[in-house]
Structure 1
């Protein structure tokens, strides 16, 4: 078993004018500053997935679309995930929901946390993501990072457009807790899978 879990920061928005890059890069830095995980960015823009149109989930039948198969191979190599969650109309983006649906076995028994944003800190979107994660047999951390309220409007491009470092004192405690929990669950699930092999 690898000593350090391999973690993907998955950017869940694909809009040309997305805000997601700012929190994604900040969260990536928090993860890279630690010595207990290896982390990469996985951008949905690099995976032009069709709307899900397979016969069934890949839990039941192999996917036929080459982009879906490439996506499954990409996410399957990781031991855990940090989702960058935009709140669109009280839920996650359509692009992220479609990407989650395009895989199943690759998500199973792996943990995730999130950095979520929006006027209410992306809390409603993250709750939807957690429900989806349960169905995909994932493990959600209790803690997550939420950028909301005046902090969100301070760093959002249509607001103050300040650097995220201006509000990071408010984010660092939850980021540390979320990453601590993610690593704990990643190591626990990796050990459990190794014992079954």
Structure 2
């Protein structure tokens, strides 16, 4: 479907009612095709974010013009200037309803993303709070699991330099060597 499909004139239709009187009514044009709203995905969010976060202020009509083909299957086959004209003087009620739905979908999309971010933040806070309340030995293991290999290496090197016992120092040296080898192999793969 194309955005220009909305640019159809309404018609005045004459008819005879049940009482035999001549009447008229405005008939909205019929559109051929269906408008599909794409499923929310990371790719879709990235595309919408790229439109919104251009670094400069973007006007509503330009934003709408750019977002429509991202969140729907509607092809923008008219210029931005022609689209602005459609927005300022909508050709028919179908176009008005379409723009209302675009606005609703966009607002819904933004709200869903914000809620998702808030939920993730809440879960992260709860996890961090739970980690704080763990016994020290378990807490140390959780913190160690969250460390990068480079951070673990620094910690082992520090423990090695502080250790006085030669047996423990030897064990720490072996751990340092294994970790350095692991990091070097990882760097080669990248």
TM-score class, shorter: under 0.3
**Which structure shows the bigger proportion of residues in helix conformation?**
2
Work out which of the two has the higher radius of gyration on C-alpha atoms and give 1 or 2: 2
- Higher normalized strand content (fraction of residues): 1
